[in-house]
Amino acid sequence: MKKYSVGIDLGGTKILIALVNRETGEVAASVKKKTKKDKGPKNIIKKMLEGIEELLAESGVTTEEINSIGVGAAGQVDRENGILIGAPNLDCYDLNIKQNLEEHFNLPVYLGNDVEIAAIGEMKFGAAKGYDDFVCVFVGTGVGSSIVKNGKIIYGATGTAGEIGHVIVDLNGRPCGCGAHGCLEAYASRSAIERRIEGALRKGRKSCILDYLEGGKSITSGMIRKAIEREDELVIQCVTEASEYLSGGLASIINFINPKLIVLGGGLIEAVDFFYQKTIKKARAKSLPVPAEKIEFKKASLGDFSGVIGAAFLDERK
Ligand SMILES: [Zn+2]
């Protein structure tokens, strides 16, 4: 077995590329590329190729020491053929990532989605180490999840299992990016909380979060944490509302799948402990009594690296 694999987390705003030690899960070197302006298939491939070359040059590791390249993308993927079917945030459709990278490096390339790789990372070296029956839920721009049963990710008939963000929590509710109404992520994502706060500010509500928004900055998880520490009424109200919905989503997972553990991750969970604590307490209260008593909750523990570490092990999928 070769010592390293390259793991790539292809997100909506950045590409994180890492050289991962396959034995220890340690990130030996990493490179970050922004994808803010130059998106589209050509730019994305170019940035990935450049990033991997930089990583190899910096670390002095050659392709002979690398087992494989694994890529997890924020979008819909065709795992078998290594094609990114659709990633609106990256302006990429039908992009053959496997072929492009394999031709360049002559190494096997595997493709998965962003939540799947984070779940693999947490299972191998993070919060879910030692568990083979759990669900990972990540709260960010959307709400995504990955289901692990007997140590394997459950993909479903069309590879889309785990789309907890599009479970409908209000039949006549807010519109969602997917085209439906009342999806969980329209209520419980970081973006949903931001929209609620911004809407209230426009209506003239007062909030100390305004202190951090000078110069047209947009709301971050860190700002939400600071506003809660300052006991800001509006921010506490919006975060509490989101946790009410998220806990309902978690209770549905607990009742429906009955996992041993739920791992919660993403910037908002990491930054705002108030949100995490409130959510897990309510999720337990809303679940059926028997699973509620046994369910364990943990925060994801690998931070930004959970995705790249997991991606480095996508070759073990079959
Ligand atoms: Zn939806």
CA 156 to ligand 1 centroid distance, Å: 18
Enumerate the domain spans of the chain: 4-122+305-317, 130-300
Interval between CA 165 and ligand 1 midpoint (Å): 6
Question: For the chain, where are the alpha helices, taking DSSP H only?
Answer: 41-59, 97-105, 114-125, 185-188, 190-202, 221-229, 233-257, 267-271, 273-286, 289-294, 306-311
Residue 97: partners with Cβ closer than 8 Å, 6 or more residues away:
45, 48, 71, 73, 82, 83, 84, 109, 111
* Gap from CA of 194 to ligand 1 centroid (Å): 17
Distance 91 CA to ligand 1 centre (A): 19
Rounded to the nearest angstrom, the gap between the alpha carbon of residue 136 and the centroid of all alpha carbons in its chain is 9
Q: Is the pLDDT of residue 151 over 80?
A: yes
- Domains 4-122+305-317 and 130-300 belong to one CATH topology: yes
- pTM confidence score: 0.93
The string of pLDDT tens digits covering residues 95-124 is: 999 999 999 999 999 999 999 999 999 999
CA of 68 to the centre of ligand 1 (A): 34
Q: Is the pLDDT of residue 307 over 80?
A: yes
User: What is the per-residue pLDDT for 138?
Assistant: 95
The Cα 138–Cα 161 span in angstroms is: 14
User: Rounded distance, CA 269 to CA 65, Å?
Assistant: 36
- Which pLDDT band, with edges at 50, 70 and 90, does 258 fall under? very high
What one-letter code names the amino acid at 309? Answer: I
If you measure from the C-alpha of residue 88 to the centroid of ligand 1, how many angstroms do you get, rounded to a whole number?
Answer: 14
Q: Please, are residues 235 and 228 in contact by the beta-carbon 8 Å criterion?
A: yes
pLDDT digits (tens, 9 = 90+) for 200-234: 999 999 999 999 998 888 999 999 999 999 999 99
Neighbours of 155 (CB within 10 A): 17
* CA of residue 306 to ligand 1 center, whole Å: 25
Mean pLDDT throughout 8-32?
Answer: 95
Q: What distance in angstroms lies between residue 184's CA and the mean position of ligand 1's atoms?
A: 7
- Over residues 175-198, the mean pLDDT reads 95
- What's the CATH fold of domain 4-122+305-317? Nucleotidyltransferase; domain 5 (3.30.420)
- CATH number for the domain formed by residue range(s) 130-300: 3.30.420.40
d(CA 266, CA 164): 15
Ligand 1 mean position, distance from CA 180 (Å):
5
How far is the centre of ligand 1, averaged over its atoms, from the C-alpha of 183 (Å)? 5
